Amino acid sequence: MRHLKLASAGVFAFSVLTGLIAPSTASAALVTGNATFTIDNPAVVSSNPGGWFFETHWGPDDNALPIDGAATGGTALTSASGPKVLVFPVNTNTATVTLSTSGTGRIAQPTTMDAGNTAAGQIGLSGALRMRDPSMTTYLAPFDLAVRKSAGEWLINSHDSSFGTVGLFKLANVSEALNGNGELLLSGDLLWTGGLSYGGLLNANTSIVLGTFNLTPAAVPVPAAAWLFGSALLGLLGVARRKMPLAA
């Protein structure tokens, strides 16, 4: 009988612990997570007649910063650096948000795409990029990006108050799926979009792979209380096992 009680307690403790740790299955909802770009600047340089390259990446801590030629901070890149990993968290706002009004006006793009219906809406990304030509005197600022699917093709657009919405990248060799929690997993190779209209990039080669793109859900940390509670249950089971007399 004591063996049966101990086994039942063990199953109960394991069930409680796994219930606290395991993520609950959720229906599809607005896309969340982090978009990771790997930018290969040597490929970027070779892909366009002007030799433009990505010079700086700013994360969400700099969202209020007007990105111009003199903006400082961020993560610096060089024309020879690559592949460089750059993270853009998915925006949680569902409407456009004005980030800066001085200099170049920045508008955070909303996330309106449901993970279960990727043919509609868009995924807003938090962060900014700045490009330079080889002379380091002229800059372009493709910032406040948004990812959307158009006619079955995944596109990454840039937006600002001067240029408006501009096609920047398209994805090739795309992998699109939902995980067990109904969250979107998306990856592919980065290429210039055919509709690119930034001055020096107008005649860029749209078949050269510039890097990769990978969208994954943000990791959900296990609460410390769950680990403590689970450890206490397992500890009590150990004590009970030590106290139980050996069967004859």
pLDDT at residue 7, rounded to an integer: 42
Question: Is residue 27 included in any domain, yes or no?
Answer: no
Distance CA 237, CA 6 (A): 7
Which of 33-47, 103-117, 157-171 has maximum average pLDDT?
33-47
Mean pLDDT on 211-236: 64
pLDDT at residue 236, rounded to an integer: 45
Question: Is residue 4 included in any domain, yes or no?
Answer: no
Q: List 175's β-bridge partners, or say none.
A: 187
What residue numbers bound the domain in which 82 lies?
34-216
Question: Is residue 210 included in any domain, yes or no?
Answer: yes
Distance CA 143, CA 74 (A): 13
Distance CA 67, CA 72 (A): 9
Tens digits of per-residue pLDDT, 100-119?
666 567 888 999 999 999 99
Tell me which residue of 42, 215, 206, 190 sits closest to 123, measured CA to CA.
Answer: 215
Question: Is residue 160 included in any domain, yes or no?
Answer: yes
By percentage, how much of the chain surpasses pLDDT 90?
A: 48
pLDDT at residue 213, rounded to an integer: 98
| Better-predicted residue by pLDDT, 174 or 95 | 174
Question: Is residue 19 included in any domain, yes or no?
Answer: no
Alpha helices in the chain (DSSP H): 2-21, 41-47, 224-243
Three-class SS state of 191: strand
| Better-predicted residue by pLDDT, 181 or 223 | 181
Question: Is residue 117 included in any domain, yes or no?
Answer: yes
What is the Cα 40 distance to its own chain's centre? 18
Question: Is residue 195 included in any domain, yes or no?
Answer: yes
Please tell me whether the overall predicted TM-score, pTM, comes out greater than 0.85 for this model: no
Alpha helices in 54-96 (DSSP H): none
Cβ contact 22:230 at 8 Å: no
Question: Is residue 24 included in any domain, yes or no?
Answer: no
Structural domain total, the chain: 1
Q: Which residues are within 8 A (CB) of 164 and not within 5 positions of it... i.e. 6 or more apart?
A: none
Q: Which residues are within 8 A (CB) of 133 and not within 5 positions of it... i.e. 6 or more apart?
A: 50, 51, 52, 139, 200
